[in-house]
Amino acid sequence: DVKVTQSSRYLVKRTGEKVFLECVQDMDHENMFWYRQDPGLGLRLIYFSYDVKMKEKGDIPEGYSVSREKKERFSLILESASTNQTSMYLCASSPSSVVGELFFGEGSRLTVL
Amino acid sequence: DQQVKQNSPSLSVQEGRISILNCDYTNSMFDYFLWYKKYPAEGPTFLISISSIKDKNEDGRFTVFLNKSAKHLSLHIVPSQPGDSAVYFCAASAGSNYQLIWGAGTKLIIKP
């Protein structure tokens, strides 16, 4: 059974704190993605990675960075959390860049106070 | 500028009847469309897809129709079941998973 696991389901942080969101996949997929989901806006791509140590900006990268040191792990970092980063964060992976199914984790709901 | 629009935030359907979820897009370069289903507190799961070279794709109770001239696609669920209650997202791509554009989602409620 394929699995994308996000380390924290719910987090509450204070403005200015550094936040790490971890994602691990066990499917040996090349591609990994970080999205955020907000009501009325659907899913918006923050960053993606098509290989170890490779990363590309998505549609809304401002205020975020990522790290992919190992194939199975893709981390999202908020260097200095702000209240407008309160959201649901979704990690996904896929075996190919050719469009097709993405496999999502269960999500991490982040609240920044 | 939303390139993929799901104009109905929610839809309520009687169990056993047909559910029709709609999605409109503006970018004529989109050539692949996907539907995902999302339960509360879970990540989205892939449901069905269609390439722009087709106008219909069917998988069990789920059928997706594509009208390229109208830039419109729809997801039909027949018959609707209580487990179909979820948020449904439409997504479109111009050829790559790196370029998926998502709609805002439609919450489907199946009434017993």
pLDDT in tens, A94-109: 987 677 789 999 999 9
Q: For residue B59, is pLDDT > 80?
A: yes
Min mean pLDDT across A50-59, A91-100, B62-71 is at A91-100
The phi, psi pair for B11, rounded to 5°, reads: -150, 130
Give the chain A residue whose CA is nearest to the CA of B93.
A99
| Cross-strand partners of B72 | B24, B67
Q: Which two tokens stand for residue A84?
A: 């407008």
CA atoms within 13 A on the CB side of A110: 30
Asked if A110 is an interface residue toward chain B (Cβ–Cβ < 8 A), one would say: no
Candidate from B42, B99, B104 with C-beta closest to A40: B104
Look-up: residue for tokens 């789920």? B62
pLDDT at A99: 74
Confidence at A55, pLDDT banded by 50, 70, 90: very high
Q: A5 and A105 in contact (C-beta within 8 Å)?
A: yes
Q: What is the DSSP letter of B96?
A: B
Q: B23 and B88 in contact (C-beta within 8 Å)?
A: no
The phi, psi pair for B30, rounded to 5°, reads: -60, 130
Asked if A19 is an interface residue toward chain B (Cβ–Cβ < 8 A), one would say: no
pLDDT at B31: 92
Segment B82-110, tens digit of pLDDT: 999 999 999 999 877 677 899 999 999 99
Confidence at B63, pLDDT banded by 50, 70, 90: very high
Asked if A98 is an interface residue toward chain B (Cβ–Cβ < 8 A), one would say: yes
Give the chain A residue whose CA is nearest to the CA of B35.
A101
Q: For residue A66, is pLDDT > 80?
A: yes
pLDDT at A1: 66
- What's the CA gap between A51 and A53, in Å, rounded? 6
